[in-house]
């Protein structure tokens, strides 16, 4: 018996999170249908939730009397700390010294010590500490400033892209896949509204759920000098929030209501709506959606012009920007995985409202892509939604019986010649940017997490070392590398930087490349492994150096803006050669992130941080890893050589640690 033969009462209760309606007999029946007779908690946990993160506990005790609410822990989370100034400067100095000459190290040490002893350093630290006492998070507002001040187009420079691995190619399945995928994503939306979506934990520690709160009904709005994040989501306890979806098709923009009597419409009705949209969408030359892919200042000007042109245009913008998310039905089929990943980021300009929290694309052959504004939420939250919803997408092509449906509404903006010309210019710029993006998928199967766990080794650390070795083999130098560390144990916190290029990592990498004696490589590996893990542990506790140094710079900006005279100059530490050499001001040539353990789940990437760098985003599983690497074409990078040498380095490290032998 298949999953889709489960009676509706069980299915509805599971999907809406109303587990109280499932009695013991229903649980037993469900277990038998699914072939996992391990008891209620194990059954539902194994079926409904992604197991994407290490030692993560999503459900807690489902048999407890009082269900845990999604956002109930928020007010009890600790605040993000302000690190000790001396500790931050010591960390920075250690990172900056790597691969500097003796004279350069001497100069950098002089600059850092000068700053350490200066009155301005103490003033900035004290002001930042005071801000931390007064605000829920000293960093939250400023972190969104960092994103909002970027004026480059959101695609490809500030978006996340992914593929839904649980929706393989199936010609003729576009409408049924769209109906299933969107319905189950809306189930997640509804569970957030009702606060039945599981709280994320790592090793028993509750994580901040603010990014889940803003996952839906959000949009970035272009403004000068920085964009603004607009959020319209509310829980049911807080009141009503928009429940419409936006659908893009052949340049047309449609809207439809996803609820009836406060409950989700069925997948069958979603099917009929998407079928209607596809049938009645005729190619439209000028789509306002294209403008969202432009340079932010240009889009700001055109959005203001659009609003002033007619009374209905602002109302249409509000309906789009406040919607749950955007769906795109495309006429394209792309067989090559690398090209499809590029398409998921930057496919057609009229097929994404780039400002939105999520754009779900459904290809003609049923493959599902996601493009999302990275400034709104981090990859871990977006991919988790994809992993969870993807488990319920039917693989076969299905069609509903005759089904009543409410017809969607076509949203038609009033446009003038100025806007039409701007749309045509935006389309040209879009394809220029698209031509820059390169992508390669590496599937490494030499060994994986299962063997490494037995050796008590973290595979993430090994991948980090392998990527540095690969870069050095291709380019002959050791570049600054950024790895994401989650700080979500703190209220409203997101990430900290792990500066993975350590002195120990470089020494080990050189030993591997030069084929030093095995015992020497093993000794250096242990040093590099420990050094990286210490940095990660500190970063998770909010004690890295990058966010703190950013906070000090922002504090200086506030002081200068507040009328302090004379204006304080930017300290030399932020202008010294070592600042950019070690990755400051967005100069990490390797931008990397671990994105989970779900072997069969959603995977994707964010583009490289700088023109001559690589983006590297990877999933780890029991017998290998999947890594997506990106670059910008026309610069001194080589994706084929880079990914090939990651595999080479993984093999060499495997030899060093004796992966097929006894414990290290």
Q: Work out the number of other CB atoms within 10 angstroms of the CB of residue 534.
A: 12
CA distance 45 to 557: 48
The three-class DSSP label of residue 170 is coil
Per annotation, catalytic residue among 374, 532, 548, 621? 374
370 and 164 Cβ atoms separated by less than 8 Å: yes
Residues composing the chain: 664
Strand 368-373 to 359-362 pairing: antiparallel
Sheet with strand 252-257: strands edge to edge: 409-411, 252-257, 244-249, 326-329, 359-362, 368-373, 159-163, 603-606
**Of the candidates 269, 532, 246, the residue with the CA atom closest to the CA atom of residue 407:** 269
Angle (deg, nearest 10), helices 459-475 and 503-513 = 60
Helices and strands counted in the chain (H then E)? 23, 20
CA distance 631 to 629: 7
191 and 198 Cβ atoms separated by less than 8 Å: no
φ, ψ of residue 517 in degrees (nearest 5): -55, 145
Tokens of 306: 């659009």
Active site residue 73: no
φ, ψ of residue 178 in degrees (nearest 5): -60, -45
**Torsion, CA 344, CA 345, CA 349, CA 355, rounded to 10:** 120
Cα of first residue to Cα of last residue in the chain, in angstroms, is 47
643 and 471 Cβ atoms separated by less than 8 Å: no
Angle, vertex CA 625, rays to CA 620 and CA 630, nearest 5: 105
618 and 70 Cβ atoms separated by less than 8 Å: no
CA distance 160 to 375: 9
CA distance 521 to 509: 9
Q: Provide the strand spans (E) within 207-322.
A: 218-221, 228-231, 244-249, 252-257, 259-260, 263-264
φ, ψ of residue 632 in degrees (nearest 5): -110, 125
List all residues 6 or more positions away from 295 whose beta carbon is below 8 Å from its beta carbon: 151, 152, 153, 429
Q: Work out the number of other CB atoms within 10 angstroms of the CB of residue 542.
A: 21
Give, for 161, the enclosing helix (H) or strand (E). strand 159-163
**According to the 3-state scheme, what is the secondary structure of 586-627?**
CCCCEEEEECCCCCCCCEEEECCCCCCCEEEEEEEECCEEEE
List all residues 6 or more positions away from 491 whose beta carbon is below 8 Å from its beta carbon: 74, 77, 78, 79, 80, 136, 137, 208, 210
CA distance 177 to 592: 31
The three-class DSSP label of residue 513 is helix
201 and 66 Cβ atoms separated by less than 8 Å: no
Angle (deg, nearest 10), helices 296-309 and 417-434 = 150
**Residues annotated as part of the active site:** 374
């Amino acid at each position: 018996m298949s999953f889709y033969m489960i009676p509706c009462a069980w299915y509805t209760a599971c999907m809406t999170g109303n587990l109280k309606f499932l009695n013991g007999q229903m649980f037993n029946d469900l277990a038998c249908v699914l072939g996992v007779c391990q008891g209620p908690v194990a059954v539902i946990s194994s079926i409904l939730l992604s197991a994407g993160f290490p030692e993560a506990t999503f459900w807690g005790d489902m048999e407890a009397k009082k269900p845990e609410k999604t956002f109930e822990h928020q007010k009890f989370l600790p605040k993000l700390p302000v690190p000790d100034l001396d500790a931050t400067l010591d960390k920075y100095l250690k990172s900056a010294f790597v691969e500097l000459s003796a004279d350069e190290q001497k100069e950098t040490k002089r600059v850092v010590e000068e700053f350490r002893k200066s009155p301005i350093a103490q003033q900035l630290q004290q002001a930042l500490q005071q801000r931390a006492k007064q605000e829920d998070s000293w960093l939250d507002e400023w972190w969104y400033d960092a994103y909002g001040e970027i004026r480059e187009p959101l695609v490809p420079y500030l978006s996340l892209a992914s593929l839904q691995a649980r929706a393989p190619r199936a010609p003729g399945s576009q409408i049924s896949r769209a109906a299933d995928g969107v319905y189950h994503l809306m189930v997640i939306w509804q569970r957030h509204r009702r606060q039945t979506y599981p709280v994320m934990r790592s090793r028993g520690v509750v994580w901040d759920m603010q990014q889940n709160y803003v996952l839906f009904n959000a949009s970035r709005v272009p403004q000068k000098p920085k964009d603004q994040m607009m959020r319209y989501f509310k829980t049911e306890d807080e009141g009503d929030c928009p429940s419409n979806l936006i659908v893009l098709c052949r340049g047309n923009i449609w809207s439809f209501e996803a609820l009836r009597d406060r409950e989700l419409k069925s997948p069958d009705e979603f099917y009929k709506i998407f079928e209607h949209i596809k049938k009645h969408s005729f190619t439209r030359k000028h789509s306002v959606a294209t403008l969202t892919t432009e340079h932010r200042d240009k889009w700001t000007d055109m959005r203001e012009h659009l609003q002033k042109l007619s009374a209905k245009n602002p109302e249409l913008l509000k309906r789009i920007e406040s919607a749950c998310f955007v769906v795109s039905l495309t006429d394209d089929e792309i067989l090559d995985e690398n090209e499809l990943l590029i398409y998921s980021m930057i496919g057609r300009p009229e097929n994404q409202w780039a400002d939105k929290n999520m754009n779900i694309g459904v290809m003609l052959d049923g493959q599902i892509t996601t493009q999302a504004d990275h400034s709104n939420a981090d990859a871990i939250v977006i991919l988790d939604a994809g992993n969870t919803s993807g488990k319920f997408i039917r693989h076969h092509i299905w069609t509903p019986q005759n089904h009543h449906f409410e017809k969607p509404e076509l949203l038609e903006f009033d446009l003038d010649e100025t806007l039409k010309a701007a749309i045509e210019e935006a389309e040209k710029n879009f394809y220029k940017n698209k031509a820059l993006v390169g992508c390669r998928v590496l599937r490494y199967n030499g060994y994986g997490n299962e063997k490494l766990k037995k050796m008590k080794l973290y595979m993430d650390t090994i991948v980090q070392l392998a990527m540095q070795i690969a870069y050095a083999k291709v380019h002959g130098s050791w570049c600054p590398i950024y790895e994401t560390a989650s700080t979500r144990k703190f209220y409203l916190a997101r990430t900290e930087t792990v500066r993975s290029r350590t002195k120990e990592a470089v020494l080990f990498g050189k030993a591997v490349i030069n084929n030093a004696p095995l015992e020497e490589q093993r000794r250096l590996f242990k040093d590099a492994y420990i050094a990286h893990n210490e940095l990660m542990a500190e970063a998770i506790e909010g004690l890295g150096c990058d966010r703190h140094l950013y906070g000090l710079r922002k504090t200086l900006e506030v002081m200068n803006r507040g009328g302090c005279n004379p204006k304080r100059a930017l300290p030399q530490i932020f202008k010294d050669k070592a600042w950019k050499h070690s990755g400051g001001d967005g100069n990490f040539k390797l931008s990397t992130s671990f994105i989970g353990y779900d072997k069969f789940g959603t995977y994707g990437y964010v583009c490289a941080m700088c023109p001559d760098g690589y983006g590297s985003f990877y999933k780890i599983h029991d017998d290998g890893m999947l890594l997506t690497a990106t670059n910008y074409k026309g610069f001194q990078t080589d994706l084929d050589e880079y990914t090939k040498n990651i595999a080479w380095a993984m093999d060499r490290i495997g030899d060093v640690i004796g992966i097929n032998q006894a414990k290290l």
